[in-house]
Structure 1
Amino acid sequence: MPPEVASVSTPSSDPLHQNLQAWFGFSQFRPGQEPVIRALTEGRSAAAIFPTGSGKSLCYQMAALQLPHLTLVVSPLLALMQDQLDYLHSRNIPAAAIDSGRSADDIRQTMQDAREGRLKILMVSVERLKNERFRQFLGNVNLSLLVIDEAHCISEWGHNFRPDYLKLPAYAREFAIPQVLLLTATATPKVISDMQSRFGIEDRDVICTGFYRNNLDLSVLSIMPEERDRELIQWLAPRRYQSSVVYVTQQKTAETLANTLRDNGINAVAYHAGMNSEERDAIQRSFMSGQHRCIVATIAFGMGIDKSDIRSVVHYDLPKSVENYSQEIGRAGRDGQPSQCLVLGNRDNIHVLENFVYGDTPSLDSIRLVLQAVREAGNHWEILLTPLSNTTDIRQLPLKTLLVYLELEGIIKPLYSYFAEYRLQYRLQPAELEQQFSGERQQFVRALLRSVRMARTWGTLDIDDFCRRYQGADRSRVIRALDYFQEQGWIVLESKQMTEVYGVLNNHFILNDLAARLHQLFVQKEQAEIQRIHDMIALFESEECLSHQLAEWFGDHNAPLHCGHCSACRGTSVAFPRRPLHPAPEQINIPALLAPLEERLGHPANTETRVRFLCGLPTPLLGKNRARSLPGWAALEQWPYQKVQAQVLGQFG
């Protein structure tokens, strides 16, 4: 049985319930599902704010089958798309996904099926909407509904803000998509209001079902780090034949802890983003099938995991926020059966969490470099994200956020994106391909193919260069031609090096003033993220009912004041232990720790680079210089960022 709905025997003569029975094999909706689906089928947009595992997916699946045209689902994770696709296919519902893991033939067939009306649901990542070939495809397809999964990513006040999500309202207008459905499990009232306003959703169509889960037992244990392994082994031992997830912050912890658990008779396996996709997929499948009972994972694991019988979720390290905690424990007990959630709490990991937040804030100098590039660009600014990130030493996510801030400041405006390079491989010889056309079209195709620079089996095409040389050619015509060749099976086509093109609306800004203002926006965001961590600590250390506080955080005022199944209700509220800094400040020789880095760089590093090296926070500059391999890397990762900064300034001046 899928998690979306629960089966009951009560029949209904209502057509919506009849369709539910016919299409999905169930006769009753879960709370909130029916009003969301009715809003969509009556032509309105809606938002479904349901806890993890409460059936958000059924809302769009059911609506899509009743709407006349294609439903486009934007999802942040490939695993989420694949799980939902597998379920839809099991119900014989025509659905597909386009992602980087699929072959050119698969993608071509999916687009053809969509154009010819054979698909009802198409799933993509938000980044796919920047692809010019995909955008041309969408412009020729009738769309009924845009579904945005993990919709809290739209809001800067959400716990997982993604700059590309800010463009979704504009995409909905551009492709004339008449309705939108927003789905999330972790939105506070402020985030819900932000989401709602961006898409003009009426109050009556924002459906929140509450966040209280009466089958989850929530425990917080105050414990020193060196005691966690022993405590975890004792806690998991009687549960070794049940499915468990243990969350950690860092990849190396996932590996070492999984080894420790296996050595103590617990069938555990590590999972983190440092593994290749094939390895992660294999581990996920083994966990889903029950081959491995315990998975020790970073937060790279979990979103979209449709396993209903996870009996335990343990936070070996503290989660990043209240929202993350809610999302992660929400993976336990999705079948409604009693499940345990345990936090092994101490303050040692807090500095690591905070330092990652500080590490994402671009320096003032780095922001100036971006603004200088805008000023020198003229009316059009073309960027490749990776080179710009390396040049300015800003990690890619905050760099994307900076570009959004520049849009909001009226400095730049996104025009379009294109691939800087197209590669093709012939399945039909060029001379034969030319003969498929006549007249001016044949001349165009001949000139196009002769512009392809062939290597052994693959050729590359510089579209802009071709358009400059061939009268009457433009990018859209060339891309339509290449797509047609691929659809006919005459070529295999690949594209790479996504180039973003912005119009520069104002390059007369006062550079230092604007840089300072933008830097302050990042500082404010940084402070908000730090506050999230402290709000989470306050939740765990509170003497009030954990379940009640968690529900209140998300605006659910209907949870009981005393749930009876949390550590606070059992009278075991905690205060996380503190201990002195290690190593002690008087033992630190900052110049000696930094000497290997500065020798490799060939010059003195600036303060931000020095602090991030000592805290073990990766940046493009440190990555390019393989700083992880140097002595001194992460030597002070257990220190607060600001204390490391003070030590650096104190010893270097």
Structure 2
Amino acid sequence: MSSETLDYALARHFGFEGLRPGQRAVIERLLEGRSVAAIFPTGAGKSLCYQLPALMLPHLTLVISPLLALIKDQLAFLHAHGIAAASIDSSQSPDEGREVMRQAQAGELKILMISVERLRNERFRRFISQVPISLLVVDEAHCISEWGHNFRPDYLKLPEERERLGMPRTLLLTATATPPVVEQMRERFSITADDVITTGFYRPNLELEVLPTAQAQRPQRLVEWLAPRAGHQAAVPQPSIVYVTQQRSAEEVARLLTSNGIAARAYHAGLDSEERQTIQTAFKQGELNCIVATIAFGMGIDKSDIRQVIHFDPPKSIENYSQEIGRAGRDGAPSTCLTLASREGLGVLENFIYGDTPERSGIRCLLEELDALPRASSGERDWRFTLSALSQRTDIRPLPLKTLLVQLELLGVATPRFSHFADYRFAQHEDDETLAGHFQGERRDFIALLLNNVRRARRWASVDFDRIDEAGRAAGLDAGRGRVIAALEFFAQRGWIELEAKQLTEVYAVYAGSLDIEGLSLRLHDYFTQREHAELERLRAVPALLESEHCLSHRLAAYFGDPRAPQHCGHCSVCHGRTARLPRPQPEPLPDRPRLSALCAPLHARLAERGNGHTPSATLLARFLCGLSSPLLTQLKARTLPGYGALATSPYAALHAHITTLALGRDE
């Protein structure tokens, strides 16, 4: 592929005169048939690295993306340039999803975007295996790494899926990967070191400012700093994002700014999707110039003229900080990134980390369930479960539970075979005779048997696979699960029925021998404890960066292994002679035994009401008092109880140790 051909395609499809640094190297390697990892900072043009090759490759480009908002934004860009692209996602109706699948199978699409979880869908896996794929794109590819930030267990399956679907090349995209994470990404997808393309993390147009501010003073400081920059007194409004940790804070800070003459809206996951989309659109089009957001906002938002990014609360990690400030100044114009820095908000973020570590008793509960499975003649045992029900049985949150399942696979204890929907139901647009009349001979007999053996309600017919299979064996017909699903999907594609599927069920093959439950539970709990420590170290690296006595831009680039940033950028608070010192807050004394007992009494009473009157663990009590949810606490509706979150500002580790010392909770 010549440079002239590439430049012509770039100008024709996107109207761009030239490629940015790094883009040409990535695209040329992909067109040569090589797999590539592109490590570009936020706003450096990662998306074009797959969009342009997708138009020049013969078959479909499949893009794995972690957020629906990111998918929607990318699709809007592609459609604006006349490029045939679509997604399959949870916001679509069944008819819309089927139309996208039809287009992909007919070769009418160049790009299909999905979440990684879509690959666990039985119907999608059957569909995508029939579609030729030229390129697999993994966006936010750092999610592959167990030791990076934002680890997503389902990402670990992507190398296996690439092999299964016969994809000839892969493109990994990320803006926030440290050297060890890049190495892990590269190894898992067999990418050579020469095919890792990095463009550096230094942004010469970003002014990094750290302003030490006590938590109580943050609201006033924010208004004083932002007002002249956000259009309150400025001749030209300046688009700004204010980042906070919690949804409640987003609402409070947005009201504060609005009451001080700075029109602002809160943006967070607690808003419905329509309202979020309205706010996003208003911000992108310049109708709204200040957003107060939790960290999910901004992923993939293509707005080039954001002039201020303010961290009202501390970022969760240096990776998050880099990603969030990277949304400023994508047009290359000067932009300011301010952190109202203190150590006071770090305790809440630390507590969130502890909330994701499973109790050893929960891990042991899962292993006991595996060990109790009946032995099969084939040697392996069959384990079927839904993630939500298993999460409740073990009191392990869904994300760490997925991680635990991956670890069981790596240890050879349990291997995923497939997943399927447990429940199918359909509403007919044609009567039984007309439906069967579309077929002849044995196929007509099969359809008639299927329709005669469903369980009917007023509108919906529920599919009982065992009943249909048994009737098929009696009649000498193949009526197995696979054939039934294929028939129903064919009916739905033709518009003869409306088909729904739910209750995703995982099917695993479990090691045939007896399990060392105590040894395994200890080993797995140690693994999660190591992850916990890694997350805590990542969080504690944030104040170390903010208090740096050396250039902030240089320190930030060095964290990501980039040696090209200048030693002194000249446009950060350290280079301006303002080294930050963050005072350490005085810890509040922990309550004495009578006070703790009184705070925990409502939880004990609720457990007794539900027939679970045994002494809760120190972990459960500490989570209750810190306001950290768990599946069991959600079942118990613990949020409604007095005492829940009463010690939310207390350090979880210190509180847990205090409860253990006072013997208020049982040992695991």
Alignment TM class, shorter chain as reference: over 0.9
Equivalent residue for 2:115, pick from 92, 115, 125: 125
Provide the residue aligned with 1:143 in structure 2: 133
CA distance in 1, matches of 2:146, 2:553: 26
Provide the residue aligned with 1:303 in structure 2: 299
Equivalent residue for 2:341, pick from 333, 342, 345: 345
Question: Is 1:442 aligned to 2:444, yes or no?
Answer: yes
User: Which digits, 9 at most, give the CA deviation of each residue in 1:364-392, with x for residues without a partner?
Assistant: 10000111111122411111000110111
Structure 1 counterpart SS, 2:347? helix
Please say if residues 245 and 313 of structure 1, whose CA atoms lie closer than 8 Å, have aligned partners that are also in contact.
yes
User: Which digits, 9 at most, give the CA deviation of each residue in 1:155-189, with x for residues without a partner?
Assistant: 11211100000000000011111111101010111
Provide the residue aligned with 2:234 in structure 1: none
CA distance in 1, matches of 2:446, 2:282: 53
Q: Residues 573, 468 of structure 1: CA spacing in aligned structure 2 closer, same or farther, 3 A cutoff?
A: farther
Equivalent residue for 1:258, pick from 254, 257, 262: 254
Please say if residues 43 and 179 of structure 1, whose CA atoms lie closer than 8 Å, have aligned partners that are also in contact.
yes
Question: Is 1:541 aligned to 2:547, yes or no?
Answer: yes
Question: Which residues of 2 match residues 484-495 of structure 1 at below 5 A?
Answer: 484-495=490-501
Please say if residues 590 and 651 of structure 1, whose CA atoms lie closer than 8 Å, have aligned partners that are also in contact.
no
Q: C-alpha root-mean-square deviation of aligned residues, in Å?
A: 1.4
CA distance in 2, matches of 1:464, 1:215: 64
Structure 1 counterpart SS, 2:488? helix
Provide the residue aligned with 1:77 in structure 2: 67
Question: Is 1:636 aligned to 2:626, yes or no?
Answer: no
1:310: Cα distance to partner? 1.1
TM-score (structure 2 length as normaliser) = 0.94
Question: Which residues of 2 match residues 41-440 of structure 1 at below 5 A?
Answer: 41-240=31-230, 241-378=237-374, 379-440=381-442
1:506: Cα distance to partner? 4.4
Instruction: Please list every run of 5 or more consecutive structure 1 residues that lacks an aligned counterpart in the other structure.
Output: 1-11
CA distance in 1, matches of 2:189, 2:41: 22
CA distance in 2, matches of 1:205, 1:617: 43
CA distance in 1, matches of 2:35, 2:552: 34
1:276: Cα distance to partner? 2.1
Question: Is 1:566 aligned to 2:572, yes or no?
Answer: yes
**Alignment size in residue pairs:** 642
1:582: Cα distance to partner? 3.3
Amino acid at match of 2:174: T
Question: Is 1:27 aligned to 2:17, yes or no?
Answer: yes
User: Which digits, 9 at most, give the CA deviation of each residue in 1:571-598, with x for residues without a partner?
Assistant: 1111211222236546981011111121
Structure 2 counterpart SS, 1:255? helix
Please say if residues 449 and 471 of structure 2, whose CA atoms lie closer than 8 Å, have aligned partners that are also in contact.
no
CA distance in 2, matches of 1:465, 1:510: 38
User: Which digits, 9 at most, give the CA deviation of each residue in 1:67-115, with x for residues without a partner?
Assistant: 1111110101111111111111111111110001111111111111111
CA distance in 1, matches of 2:454, 2:275: 37
Q: Residues 372, 234 of structure 1: CA spacing in aligned structure 2 closer, same or farther, 3 A cutoff?
A: same
1:283: Cα distance to partner? 2.0
CA distance in 1, matches of 2:101, 2:254: 42
Provide the residue aligned with 1:3 in structure 2: none
Q: Residues 544, 404 of structure 1: CA spacing in aligned structure 2 closer, same or farther, 3 A cutoff?
A: same
User: Which digits, 9 at most, give the CA deviation of each residue in 1:198-244, with x for residues without a partner?
Assistant: 11111221100100001111011111100000000011101222111
Provide the residue aligned with 1:513 in structure 2: 519
1:474: Cα distance to partner? 2.2
Question: Which residues of 2 match residues 484-633 of structure 1 at below 5 A?
Answer: 484-582=490-588, 585=591, 589-602=595-608, 603=613, 604-633=615-644
* Between 269-278 and 431-440, the greater mean CA deviation after superposition: 269-278
Question: Is 1:453 aligned to 2:430, yes or no?
Answer: no
Q: Residues 338, 370 of structure 1: CA spacing in aligned structure 2 closer, same or farther, 3 A cutoff?
A: same
Amino acid at match of 1:340: T
* Between 423-432 and 487-496, the greater mean CA deviation after superposition: 423-432
User: Which digits, 9 at most, give the CA deviation of each residue in 1:552-609, with x for residues without a partner?
Assistant: 1111100000001111111111121122223654698101111112112212322111
Amino acid at match of 2:662: Q
CA distance in 2, matches of 1:478, 1:264: 62
User: Which digits, 9 at most, give the CA deviation of each residue in 1:399-433, with x for residues without a partner?
Assistant: 00000010011001110000010121112222211
Please say if residues 223 and 577 of structure 1, whose CA atoms lie closer than 8 Å, have aligned partners that are also in contact.
no
Structure 2 counterpart SS, 1:498? strand
1:478: Cα distance to partner? 1.5
Please say if residues 50 and 210 of structure 1, whose CA atoms lie closer than 8 Å, have aligned partners that are also in contact.
yes
Amino acid at match of 1:619: S
Q: Residues 466, 288 of structure 1: CA spacing in aligned structure 2 closer, same or farther, 3 A cutoff?
A: same
Question: Is 1:476 aligned to 2:487, yes or no?
Answer: no
CA distance in 2, matches of 1:369, 1:543: 49
Amino acid at match of 2:390: L
1:346: Cα distance to partner? 1.0
User: Which digits, 9 at most, give the CA deviation of each residue in 1:27-84, with x for residues without a partner?
Assistant: 2100111111111111111111101111111011111111111111010111111111
Q: Residues 13, 125 of structure 1: CA spacing in aligned structure 2 closer, same or farther, 3 A cutoff?
A: closer
User: Which digits, 9 at most, give the CA deviation of each residue in 1:123-147, with x for residues without a partner?
Assistant: 1111110111111111111111110
Please say if residues 411 and 507 of structure 1, whose CA atoms lie closer than 8 Å, have aligned partners that are also in contact.
no
Structure 1 counterpart SS, 2:18? coil
Please say if residues 85 and 111 of structure 2, whose CA atoms lie closer than 8 Å, have aligned partners that are also in contact.
yes
